[in-house]
């Protein structure tokens, strides 16, 4: 399996793949001062960005040849549920591809800080998967 590429926005947020054991990649967004929203909490947009990047990575990991996500994936719909406030610490995320067809992928993503059993946010997304020649 090839290495998963992340969106350029992942670099801006400092997101990296820290594990990929044959399933969906585990992503890490290390804490930085630029991620603070209201004092003492992570910005919701940074959390939502992490969720979207994890969703794309989860679907990309199911494809035979992972591709440049800027060209291949387009969000159709995104539903984010903020469960608890994000603290000013490292944040992890992993998506699970629920169904991946030839044109649309459906994924569930959770992000956490203390452990996967205590998510701070979750999302359900549908992504359009452009065919390689369309991308």
pLDDT score recorded for residue 2: 54
DSSP letter string, 32-77: -GGGB-STTSB-HHHHHHHHHHHHHHHHHHHSSS---HHHHEEEEE
pLDDT of residue 14: 96
Report pLDDT digits (tens) over 83-117: 999 999 999 999 999 999 989 999 999 999 999 99
> Could you tell me the pTM of the whole model?
0.90
Give the CA angle between residues 7, 9, 14 to the nearest 5°: 105
pLDDT digits (tens, 9 = 90+) for 34-44: 999 999 999 99
Domain annotation for the chain: domains and CATH numbers? 8-129 (3.10.129.10)
3-state DSSP of 71-90:
HHEEEEEEEEEECCCCCCCC
Average pLDDT score over residue span 115-132: 92
């Amino acid at each position: 399996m090839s290495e998963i590429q992340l969106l350029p926005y992942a670099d801006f947020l400092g997101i990296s793949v820290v594990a990929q054991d044959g399933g969906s990649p585990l992503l890490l967004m290390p804490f930085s001062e630029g991620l603070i929203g209201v004092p003492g909490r992570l910005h919701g947009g940074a959390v939502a960005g992490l969720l979207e990047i994890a969703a794309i990575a989860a679907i990309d990991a199911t494809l035979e040849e992972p591709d440049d996500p800027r060209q291949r994936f387009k969000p159709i719909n995104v539903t984010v549920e903020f469960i608890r406030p994000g603290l000013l610490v490292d944040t992890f995320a992993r998506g699970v591809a629920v169904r991946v067809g030839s044109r649309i992928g459906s994924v569930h993503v959770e992000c956490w800080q203390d452990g996967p059993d205590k998510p701070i946010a979750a999302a359900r997304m549908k992504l359009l998967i452009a065919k390689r020649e369309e991308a």
